Structure 1
């Protein structure tokens, strides 16, 4: 089983910071390892982690408005100090210039407050898929690069095809990722998640159309080959 992604929450409001840390614990594959209320405190904790005085940190959930700096300036300071770490901006700031700066600094996701747990989990789940793809030292080909970046793209519930829910879609993605062979048929998914075969196929087809999985034919059984859906 892969190690949990270790998360530092950087948020000046104590109640909000604790809420975000609690949210992190509810998403499979993530572990909150600290809370910083200022930019100075965040840099100190990240340096301690880099120098192995404390456990490592993989991801920052970063508020853009901090009492001693901005999240954008904090990211610039981290990059200048050679601290390479992924960042998800969690902020009420909607300024286009801030968004452009976030993109230029390599912030991988931008989550606008206020939000509920479903939106939060959606962003972290997408990041988890991205993190799993780029965890190896070598990217095999262009298709793998494209699939890695596609993993960061999320779709709101209102954009899902009628009858599909975000919660079940996340369960389907997790099931395909966890499959020992890296692929599942609609029948296997239906059995694993207690869905009808038709419903399982609809979710798998949606993931295939979105570029998250790819379709292929599974041979070796009598009759027509079975369609399987393989994680990219």
Structure 2
């Protein structure tokens, strides 16, 4: 599924960069707004937007005030704050208003990619659920948004980019053995197993024993 996004960013260069980042990650960017007023107009035209990247420092309003206005207006798109605002109170208010992630400027493309892939994994799981879910389903979806370890705290030798590839492989094609994951991601079997074991260690995947065939039982990995 292709998710649709709007970027709200008053700096023209930054807005264009964020839109390009999203497009590289498979999103359809339907608008780049440079003020709160522009954001309201853009989201009134595009009512099926999935994600808003929201700067909190806008020339005509605070981003959180804009978010409150959008919610009253019926805009239910998910929001990721992308901002230089570091105050704890701003973070608290952002979370209380339902912001699903908070990315502090300046950041690398790798950090941006990690946040967006976490969001996509969450949405993919959410959209695949039936109308009623169990507690374990809710826990699994929220773990996707807020994994136990951040990309900055990865064990030595593991990269956020490859973690994201392995996560998507397990989510989309699991259960997978290390060999099957290696084929999907384009790494060696040993490397794939390291990443799969990392997912187990962080609680987002689990090991199972695959029986059958003429050989020994094989370990496979499945998204929790």
What TM-score does the superposition give when structure 2 sets the normalisation length? Answer: 0.93
Indicate the larger mover: 209-218 or 198-207: 209-218
* Deviation of 1:204 (Å): 0.5
- Cα deviation, 1:86-108, whole Å, max 9, x if unaligned, reads 00000000011111100100000
Partner of 2:204: 212
Aligned positions, number: 222
Structure 1 Cα separation of the partners of residues 186 and 152 of structure 2: 24
* Deviation of 1:156 (Å): 4.1
Change (3 A) 1:142 1:103: same
Q: Name the SS of the counterpart of 1:151 in structure 2.
A: helix
Whether 1:35 and 2:27 are equivalent positions in the alignment is no
* Deviation of 1:158 (Å): 3.8
Q: Structure 1: which 5+ residue stretches go unaligned? A: 51-55
Structure 2 Cα separation of the partners of residues 108 and 42 of structure 1: 19
Question: Within 5 A, what are the aligned runs for 1:65-214?
Answer: 65-135=57-127, 136-154=129-147, 155-179=149-173, 182-214=174-206
Structure 2 Cα separation of the partners of residues 45 and 172 of structure 1: 35
* Deviation of 1:157 (Å): 4.2
Change (3 A) 1:210 1:25: same
Q: Name the SS of the counterpart of 1:169 in structure 2.
A: helix
Q: Structure 2: which 5+ residue stretches go unaligned? A: none
Indicate the larger mover: 182-191 or 106-115: 182-191
- Output the aligned Cα RMSD: 1.6
Structure 2 Cα separation of the partners of residues 157 and 89 of structure 1: 18
Change (3 A) 1:193 1:112: same
Structure 1 Cα separation of the partners of residues 38 and 15 of structure 2: 14
Structure 2 Cα separation of the partners of residues 113 and 140 of structure 1: 36
